Amino acid sequence: MEDNGDGHKMQVNNLTMYYGDFKALDDVSLDFASRHITALIGPSGCGKSTLVRCLNRMNDLIDGSKVEGEISLDGENILGPGYDVISLRRRVGMVFQRPNPFPKSIYENVAYGPRLVGIKNKEKLDSIVEDSLKRAALWDEVKKILDRSGQSLSGGQQQRLCIARVIAVQPEVILFDEPCSAIDPISTQKIEDLMAELKKNFTMVIVTHNMQQAARVSDYTAFMLVEEQGQPGRIVEFGDTNTMFTNPSDKRTENYITGRFG
């Protein structure tokens, strides 16, 4: 897989994370290549979601959470004091496990982000909404019903709406936290196809417990584990996806992968 020339968009260095007294991640280091898809796989509870939520500092919202180490975006440490978290979240967007459109119209859902940054001009908003919905492969299905509530769509459509919503903010990185686990298989397929398209413009990180998905979609994969219950999550192996799935270096990776494919 050739490097697109932009290097690493985000880098995690020696990240340790606590929820109160509980250590959730231990000394995690990882790179996210620009305009490529990196997948995080591993069994339930291994800390993949926790790691990904550190990347846009959503864990800040949880009382008692604490981070040590460094996470850099374009070379700048986002954990540094005084770093503008709000603008971070505009540059690093997130799609959640369960689709969570606002109880507003489809149009307003997508327009929410642009409005936040002060865009008021109706034409500009219209074009952003259309563009975002097109890129989320949802435009044709909703272009006549933009006024209807976002929550009246099917599950798969709602998730694509959430993707459109994120795209409208024009982020540089998009984080997907198990985006298809609550979606039917056909919509899942649509979203996976979507991701291949989006890769051209965005750096993407996807957390998934579906290994076929990781193998199909991603360029790089990181495998995470907890030794036993109560232990923090760690990275076991990280590398090019093809290599990981055909010839993993670590025995534990091999066990996990063959256990599923088996």
Residues that bind another protein (CB under 8 A): 56, 58, 61, 63, 86-90, 93-94, 96, 98, 100-104, 112-113, 116-117, 149, 151-152, 162, 165-166, 169
Q: Please, what is the minimum distance in Å from the beta carbon of residue 211 to another protein?
A: 26
Using alpha carbons, select from 54, 41, 8 the residue that is nearest to residue 172: 8
Kind and range of the H or E run holding 8? strand 8-19
Which residue, 17 or 94, is less far from another protein as judged by CB? Answer: 94
Q: What is the CA 192 to chain-centroid distance, rounded?
A: 13
Q: What is the CA 190 to chain-centroid distance, rounded?
A: 17
Which residue, 58 or 73, is less far from another protein as judged by CB? Answer: 58
Which residue, 63 or 140, is less far from another protein as judged by CB? Answer: 63
Q: Please, what is the minimum distance in Å from the beta carbon of residue 25 to another protein?
A: 19
Q: Please, what is the minimum distance in Å from the beta carbon of residue 177 to another protein?
A: 10
Which residue, 158 or 218, is less far from another protein as judged by CB? Answer: 158
Q: Please, what is the minimum distance in Å from the beta carbon of residue 55 to another protein?
A: 11
Tally Cβ neighbours within 10 Å of residue 59: 21
Q: Which residue has the tokens 């489809």?
A: 106
Q: Please, what is the minimum distance in Å from the beta carbon of residue 21 to another protein?
A: 17
Q: What are phi and psi of 221, to 5 degrees?
A: -135, 140
Which residue, 93 or 232, is less far from another protein as judged by CB? Answer: 93
Q: How far apart are CA 63 and CA 65, in angstroms?
A: 6
Burial of residue 130, with CB atoms counted within 10 A of its CB: 0-12 exposed, 13-18 middle, 19 or more buried: middle
| Straight-line distance from the first to the last Cα atom of the chain, in angstroms, rounded to the nearest whole number | 27
Q: Please, what is the minimum distance in Å from the beta carbon of residue 104 to another protein?
A: 8
Which residue, 40 or 168, is less far from another protein as judged by CB? Answer: 168
Q: Please, what is the minimum distance in Å from the beta carbon of residue 149 to another protein?
A: 5
In this structure, the chain runs to a length of 262
Name residue 172's amino acid.
E
DSSP codes, 2-64: ---SS-EEEEEEEEEEEETTEEEEEEEEEEEETTSEEEEE-STTSSHHHHHHHHTTGGGGSTT
Which residue, 99 or 232, is less far from another protein as judged by CB? Answer: 99
Angle formed by the axes of helices 122-135 and 106-116, nearest 10°: 110
Burial of residue 200, with CB atoms counted within 10 A of its CB: 0-12 exposed, 13-18 middle, 19 or more buried: exposed
